[in-house]
Homo-oligomer: A and B are copies of this chain.
Amino acid sequence: MSETLSLTRIDADLLNSLMETVSTFGATGDGGVDRPALTDAHQAARDWFRSVLEALGYTVLVDEIGNLFGRIDLAGPDAPLVMIGSHLDSQPKGGRFDGAYGVIAALAAIETWRREAAETGIPPSCNYVIADWMNEEGARFQPSLLGSSVFAGQVDLDWALARCDRDGLSVEEELIRTGYKGTDPAPRPDVYLEIHIEGDDKMETAGARIAPFCRHWGALKVRIEVTGEQNHTGPTPMEDRKDAVLGAAYIIAEVKRLADIAEDTIFTSVARVDISPNSPNIVPGKAVLFCELRAPEPAMLEWSEESLRAALPDLAAQASVEAEIVSVDRRPAGKFDARLVRLTERIADDFQLPRMQLDTIGGHDAVAVNAILPAIVVAVPSVGGVIHRNDEYTSPEDLAAGGDVLVDMIRRIDAAKGDLDRAAGANS
């Protein structure tokens, strides 16, 4: 136990009640939510969250890429600014905890801390801002982490605004339609904290309840266009066919083979395929493959990209089609702030919560933010490792445990006046 700080727990009633409400927006009736970025359901969730922020005295800011911020200044204007957040958008038919938990827990934790500060009379030394990032999921608009990447200067604002969904609607049009094309400058925090459910069962298997992410895997999002020739599936002789779906099938199998070769060090997928015209009796003229290659080390990513590029011509030739890599979105591998990892671990120990270290393989807004300031993601378990599905589930106890850790991170960073070395107890 820390000798200088008592352990205040998060206001679990507030956390749970906010989680209940946010889960109603885009609810699918089977426990999940369908709330992709800038849909009506997403707008409704943001409008509600905004109204809660305003009611609690936060200043609401919306920047040009539609990130929503709720800022509350508890210290002077030059005090360190602590940002805590995640995202309210979901996958289509996704779960209720992914993203929403991080936003809701941020608010519940800051509110708990505010109350404690008021009760103890100790003046806070930091200001606070909650972030609800625009389009973390990348389900409707690609790439993912769009709002946080613009925030971190990794993606150009105009390019981001021009991204279109499959119906040709742009981010900019949909920001305007939903009322989130803001003009406020984004806040410039000194540290970024995010809490999130795990997307794997490693914690469950190990019996861990808290896990700081130490590394984030790199990812290549590779879009491959396969071009064949549209023809009748009846009379067109087999040897004359240029079947884009057949070419796609060979490529999909090869992408999987790369993961088999590099067992446990590369994860691969082709999870979306847009086929044209996708009619049962027309030899498909085109197929666009959305391929992902993920690895913890840059060298492995390079190897996978080179291998894929080298294999494409032969795979395409087998189906008499052309295959071309038309875009590659690169997310480099990296490490989260070691002091924040240590801080998380110390707090977990103080709460006697079993802990472990993890890598994050999926993207998180903290991955983008980590490029420009100290950042971390702290994970709580998801039952069975399920994520991106209606039956995604984290128990109220685990939600609260993550919230407790978050409150204590705030308290210690505040007590250290934003000095992370000191907060993490560099000398202990």
Interface residues, chain A, with chain B CB atoms under 8 Å away: 91-94, 137-139, 142, 144, 198-201, 217, 219, 221, 229-238, 240-241, 243, 245-246, 248-250, 252-253, 256, 259-260, 263-264, 267-275, 277-285, 290, 292, 294, 319, 360-363, 385-389
Q: How distant is the Cα of A328 from the Cα of B93 in the complex, in angstroms?
A: 30
- Within the assembled complex, what's the spacing in Å between the Cα atoms of A238 and B256? 9
Across the interface, A245 reaches (CB within 8 A) one of B236, B270, B280, namely: B270
Closest Cβ neighbor of A235 among chain B residues: B199
A271 B233 Cβ-Cβ under 8 A? yes
Q: Which residue of B lies closest to A34 (CB)?
A: B277
Contact of A249 among B253, B263, B272, B282 (CB under 8 A): B253
A36, closest chain B residue (CB): B279
Task: Return chain B residues, CB-CB under 8 Å to A388.
Answer: 230-232, 281-283
Residues from chain B with a CB closer than 8 A to the CB of A137 are 279, 281
Chain B residue nearest to A362 (CB atoms) is B234
Whole-angstrom distance between the alpha carbons of A217 and B91 in the complex? Answer: 44
Quick check: B271 and A283 within 8 Å, CB to CB? yes
- B267 adjacent to A272 (CB under 8 Å): no
Q: Is the CB of A233 within 8 A of B267?
A: yes
Which B-chain residue is minimally distant from A237 (CB atoms)? Answer: B200
Which chain B residues border A237 with CB–CB below 8 Å?
Answer: 200, 267
Q: Which of A144, A198, A246, A361 has the most CB of B within 10 A?
A: A246
Question: What is the total number of copies of this protein in its complex?
Answer: 2
Query: Once the chains are docked, how many angstroms separate the CA of A249 from the CA of B243?
Result: 13
Cα A198 to Cα B264 in complex, Å, equals 53
- Name A200's closest neighbour in chain B (CB-CB): B235
- Residues from chain B with Cβ under 8 Å of A91 in the complex: 277, 279, 281-282
A236-B200, A259-B238 known; A281 vs B144 contact (CB < 8 Å): yes
Report chain B residues within 8 Å CB of A142: 280
Residue in chain B with minimal CB distance to A241: B269
What's the nearest-Cβ distance from chain B to residue A183, in Å?
30
Tell me if A139 and B200 are in contact (CB < 8 A).
Answer: no
Contact of A232 among B230, B272, B319, B387 (CB under 8 A): B387
- B362 with A280: CB separation less than 8 A: no
Are A284 and B271 in contact (CB-based, < 8 A)? yes
Hey, which chain B residues are within 8 Å of A389, CB to CB? Answer: 229-231, 285
- Residue pairs across A and B with Cβ atoms less than 8 A apart, 17 shown, are A199-B231, A217-B234, A230-B388, A231-B387, A232-B388, A234-B292, A234-B294, A234-B361, A238-B259, A246-B270, A249-B249, A271-B280, A271-B281, A271-B282, A280-B290, A282-B388, A285-B389
Among A230, A275, A387, the most chain B Cβ lie within 10 Å of the Cβ of A230
Residues of B within 8 A of A233 (CB): 267, 269, 271, 292, 294, 362
Q: A139-B281, A256-B246, A279-B91 are in contact. Are A361 and B235 (CB under 8 A)?
A: yes
In this complex, which of A199, A245, A274 has the most chain B Cβ atoms within 10 angstroms of its Cβ?
A: A245
Q: Are A246 and B253 in contact (CB under 8 A)?
A: yes
CA gap between A61 and B384 in the complex, in Å = 61
Other-chain contact of A230, B93, B138, B238 (Cβ < 8 Å): B93
**Complex contact A234–B363 (CB within 8 A):** yes
With A93-B230, A246-B253 as contacts: A385 and B236 at CB distance below 8 Å: yes
Q: By the criterion CB–CB under 8 Å, are B248 and A280 in contact?
A: no
The answer to whether residues A277 and B138 also contact, given A200-B236, A236-B200 and a CB cut-off of 8 A, is no
Q: Which residues of B lie under 8 Å from residue A221 when comparing CB positions?
A: 280
